[in-house]
A = this chain, B = another copy of it.
Amino acid sequence: MEWALHCCVVLTSVAEPVPAARLAELHDVSPTYLAKQLQALSRAGLVHSVQGKSGGYVLTRSPASITLLDVVEAVDGPDPAFVCTEIRQRGPFATPAESCTTPCPVARAMATAESARRAALSSVSIADLAEQVEISSGEGALSSIGTWLAPGNV
């Protein structure tokens, strides 16, 4: 997750495709490990893999239109952490399945908490994060990384 988010942020700094090995070098992490994160981003349609000599990964759309939730779901999957298994339908006081047309109070409360988390994650885009990085690391920080990442510099 953390690697996927950092990759998306640095990919905002360069228009050309960036080889996975170059991203791994930037982050000082195993290329195999990073490849899995990039594949997850690719399956979710957030990055596109360009084949060939100057191939690599590139964001598929504007960083302002990619939210943290998109990245979190790409890596962790879209399912919420809490899954209701309909405990109320078990045991001597079982509610008949046909009466369980709405989620039980426990499931509802957990879903509300999950929605609050998702709303917070959707309210921040990769462009927002990139802007925050510029503020905390100094203006030009990301463009220096972008220059370094550009395939011509490999």
Contacts and interface: CB of A to CB of B under 8 A. Distances in A.
Nearest to A24: B91
A52 interface: no
B91 A28 contact: yes
A129 B116 contact: no
Interface residues of A, number: 54
Interface in A113-142: 113-121, 124, 128-129, 132-133, 135-137, 141
A109 B81 contact: no
Nearest to A95: B137
A64 interface: no
A144 B93 CA distance: 9
A129 B105 contact: yes
